[in-house]
A and B are shown apart, each in its own frame.
Chain A
Amino acid sequence: MSSTFRALLGATALCAVGSAAVAQDNTTLTIATVNNGDMIRMQSLTADFTEKNPGITLEWVTLEENILRERVTTDIATNGGQYDVLTIGTYEVPIWARQDWLSPLTDLPEDYDVDDLVPAVREALSVDGTLYAAPFYAESAMVMYRTDLAEAAGVTIPDNPTWTDIKTAAEAMTDKDNEVYGICLRGKPGWGENMAFLTAMANSYGARWFDTEWTPQFDSPEWQETLTDYLTLMNEYGPPGASSNGFNENLSLFQQGKCGMWIDATVAASFVTDPEDSTVADSVGFAQFPNKEGVDNHGNWLWAWNLAIPASSQKQDAAKTFVAWATSKDYTNIVAEAEGWRAAPPGTRTSLYENAEYQEAAPFAAQTLEAINAANTQKASVQDIPYTGGQFVAIPEFQGIGTAVGQTFSAALAGQMSAEDALAAAQSTTAREMARAGYPK
Chain B
Amino acid sequence: MARVASTRAKVGYTVAAWIVALVIFFPILYTIITSLKTEQEAIAGFNLIPSFTLSSFEAVQSQNNYWRPFTNSVILAVGSTLLALVVAIPAAWAMAFSPTKNTRGILMWMLSTKMMPAVAVLVPIYLIFLRTGLMDTRIGLTVMLMLINLPIVVWMLYTYFREIPGEILEAARMDGASLRDEILYVLTPMAVPGIASTMLLNVILAWNEAFWTIQLTTTNAAPLSAFIASFSSPQGLFWAKLSAASVMAIAPILIMGWFSQKQLVRGLTFGAVK
Contact = CB atoms under 8 A, between A and B. Distances in A.
Given A3-B180, A67-B229, A252-B44, A20 B133 contact: yes
B234 interface: yes
A413 B219 CA distance: 43
B179 interface: yes
B123 A11 contact: no
Given A19-B140, A35-B234, A65-B232, A252 B43 contact: yes
Q: Which of B40, B86, B143, B229 has the most CB of A within 10 A?
A: B229
Chain A interface mostly: helix
Nearest to A2: B179
A50 interface: no
Contacts of B230: 35, 61-64
A267 B233 CA distance: 15
Interface residues of A, number: 47
A78 B219 contact: no
Interface string A1-21: 101100110010001101110
B46 to A, nearest CB: 12
Interface in A48-87: 59-65, 67, 70-71, 74, 77-78, 80, 82-83
Contacts of B43: 248-249, 252
Given A15-B143, A61-B218, A267 B235 contact: yes
A438 interface: no
B192 to A, nearest CB: 19
Interface string B210-227: 000011001100100010
A254 interface: no
Nearest to B228: A64
B238 interface: yes
B271 interface: no
Contacts of B179: 1
A80 B126 contact: yes
B107 interface: no
B233 A34 contact: yes
Interface residues of B, number: 41
Contacts, number: 101
A11 B237 contact: no
Contacts of B133: 19-20, 22
A82 B218 CA distance: 7
A74 B218 contact: no
B117 to A, nearest CB: 14
A249 B132 CA distance: 46
B40 A252 contact: yes
A30 B221 CA distance: 14
A71 B139 contact: no
B233 A35 contact: yes
Contacts of B90: 1, 4
Contacts of B134: 19
Contact of B219 (A36, A61, A74, A192): A61
B127 interface: yes
Contacts of A247: 235
A19 B133 CA distance: 6
B64 interface: yes
Contacts of A43: 63
Nearest to A32: B218
Contacts of B122: 74
A78 B127 contact: yes
Contacts of A32: 218
A67 B222 CA distance: 14
Closest 9 CB pairs of A and B: A62-B230, A64-B232, A35-B233, A59-B219, A64-B229, A65-B234, A252-B43, A4-B90, A19-B133
29 contacts: A1-B90, A3-B180, A4-B90, A7-B86, A8-B87, A11-B83, A11-B86, A16-B132, A19-B133, A30-B218, A30-B219, A34-B233, A35-B234, A35-B238, A37-B233, A37-B236, A61-B222, A61-B230, A62-B231, A65-B232, A74-B123, A74-B126, A78-B126, A78-B130, A247-B235, A248-B43, A248-B235, A252-B237, A267-B235
